[in-house]
Copies of this chain bind each other. A is one copy, B any other.
Amino acid sequence: MPAHVTENPGDLPAGFRAAGVACGLKPSGGMDLGLMVCSAPECVSAARFTRSGVLAAPVVLTQTRSRLDALRVIVANSGNANAATGNRGFEDAARMQGAASMAGGVREDQVAVASTGVIGVPLDASVAIKGIARARGELREYGHGDFAEAIRTTDKFEKAIEVDVALPSGTVRLTAQAKGAGMISPAFATMLCFVQTDAILSAETADLLLGVCVARSFDRVSVDGQLSTNDTVILQASGASGVAVEPQTVDEAAFGEALDWALRKLALDIVRDGEGSKRIGRIVVSGGDDGMAASVARAIANSPLVKAALHGGDPNWGRIAQAVGAALYDSAPLLLDISIEGVKVCSAGAATRYDVAGLAEAVAGEEVEYVVALPGDGAEAEVFFSDLSHEYVTINADYTT
């Protein structure tokens, strides 16, 4: 954590209120509808979405009907992704947007809608709308805990940030809520994340900082290499602190550093809580060109053989070599170097002598670092990934039924 960032559990940043309620979308009866409202008319926002070719209705609606730089209200539900639901799904998302605009007292184009849950089942919008009305009555300055709970699906623990950030021009507050935990892949990670601050940000600054920080966080994690239909990240800035973060100032650098830390922490929490995850792998690939390094890092992170070996605490680096070879096929011979936890196991494509017992011990820890050097230099790519466990199979073999 950067020195100018301080953990401080408490209320949302000034200008924000939130709520979470159980409206009946989740069969479990758990909280499944969250509402986040900014009371500041000048609220500034920025957003990023999944790039899937199959976009969920709320993503299409928010992208096409909302002012992404001036979002004041977020309505998010779990229990149903409202994806692959056609025109009806779009209308259902629009009805949620309308209800949330009334609940928040804002225009419809100031409302973002986000959904997560099962794909391909029509969402019961009337249930969601009743939930929005109830959530309106529950809006509190300390409602972000319930909001965070309402957006979670298979997550086992809360992913949230509550910090104060000391900028040269004054202290601002930064909070965020995120959910995982499956269908997570870089490009970017398949999840929902909502960030609030009371700093004054221009729309350009908010967009720039969010873009940079998403690329260094949610773009670099993989649970199962599966890009979702619903990924949404939204940053809202109420400006209520009176502290302005001007472009190209020390304030901007310091705020950006805090946001970067926050999103990387949440991204790692998502990996740590990846469905059934026990260990985290960090893969760093250097050499080659940018596209090559990124595709190799993702191939390793998404290899079920590498992930199963990580799970078993097995230093089976041959599977790393296999994944690299598959990502860069038709390019033999590849004179790659591989190190695991600082131990060089493969040099110029061939096995080296190393301390087998020492390496076995090193890969039994909670985090394992793999470094792959490709011929050439210049590029670097980093991906964090979870292991492949029995629990992942259990969770995903029986999710809808």
Residues from 94 to 109 in A contacting B, C-beta threshold 8 Å: none
B121 to A351, Cβ gap below 8 A? yes
* CB-CB nearest in chain B for A387: B397
A336 to B54, Cβ gap below 8 A? yes
The 0/1 profile, CB within 8 Å of B marked 1, for residues 194-218 of chain A is 0000000000000000000000000
Out of B332, B389, B395, name the residue touching A53 (CB < 8 Å). B332
A305 to B87, Cβ gap below 8 A? no
Out of B227, B303, B329, B400, name the residue touching A329 (CB < 8 Å). B227
B325 to A227, Cβ gap below 8 A? yes
List the one stretch of A9-17, A137-145, A258-266, A307-315 in contact with chain B: A307-315
Q: Which residues of B contact A250 (CB under 8 A)?
A: none
- Counting every copy of the chain, the complex holds 2
A226 to B323, Cβ gap below 8 A? yes
- A76 beta carbon closer than 8 Å to chain B: no
Main secondary structure of the interface of A (DSSP, over half): loop
Bound CA span A82–B176, Å = 50
- A247 beta carbon closer than 8 Å to chain B: no
* CB-CB nearest in chain B for A350: B86
- A355 beta carbon closer than 8 Å to chain B: no
Residues from 62 to 99 in A contacting B, C-beta threshold 8 Å: 81, 83-89
Bound CA span A311–B348, Å = 40
CB distance from A192 to the nearest CB of B (A): 15
B85 to A351, Cβ gap below 8 A? yes
Bound CA span A274–B226, Å = 21
Bound CA span A394–B392, Å = 12
- A328 beta carbon closer than 8 Å to chain B: yes
Q: Which residues of B contact A398 (CB under 8 A)?
A: 312, 314
The 0/1 profile, CB within 8 Å of B marked 1, for residues 372-401 of chain A is 000000000000000011101111111111
Out of B303, B322, B400, name the residue touching A54 (CB < 8 Å). B322
B84 to A346, Cβ gap below 8 A? yes
B53 to A229, Cβ gap below 8 A? no
List the one stretch of A167-175, A181-189, A238-246 in contact with chain B: A181-189
A81 to B304, Cβ gap below 8 A? no
- A29 beta carbon closer than 8 Å to chain B: no
- A345 beta carbon closer than 8 Å to chain B: yes
- A166 beta carbon closer than 8 Å to chain B: no
Out of B89, B119, B326, name the residue touching A52 (CB < 8 Å). B326
- A55 beta carbon closer than 8 Å to chain B: yes
B226 to A119, Cβ gap below 8 A? no
Bound CA span A325–B399, Å = 20
Residues from 117 to 136 in A contacting B, C-beta threshold 8 Å: 118-122
A305 to B121, Cβ gap below 8 A? no
- A39 beta carbon closer than 8 Å to chain B: no
- A228 beta carbon closer than 8 Å to chain B: yes
Bound CA span A198–B326, Å = 35
Q: Which residues of B contact A314 (CB under 8 A)?
A: 397-401
Bound CA span A81–B317, Å = 13
Out of B120, B331, B401, name the residue touching A345 (CB < 8 Å). B120
**Known contacts A314-B400, A321-B119, A388-B393, A53 near B334 by CB under 8 Å:** yes
A325 to B55, Cβ gap below 8 A? yes
Residue positions of A touching B, CB distance < 8 A: 51-55, 60, 81, 83-89, 118-122, 182-183, 185, 187, 224-229, 303-305, 308-309, 311-319, 321-334, 336, 345-346, 348-351, 360, 388-390, 392-401
Sample (16) of A-B pairs whose CB atoms are under 8 Å apart = A53-B324, A83-B318, A84-B321, A86-B349, A88-B350, A119-B321, A224-B305, A226-B303, A226-B319, A229-B321, A312-B398, A314-B397, A314-B401, A316-B401, A388-B393, A388-B397
Q: Nearest 10 A-B pairs (CB), nearest first?
A: A86-B350, A119-B318, A54-B325, A312-B397, A308-B396, A52-B325, A227-B326, A53-B328, A120-B318, A53-B331
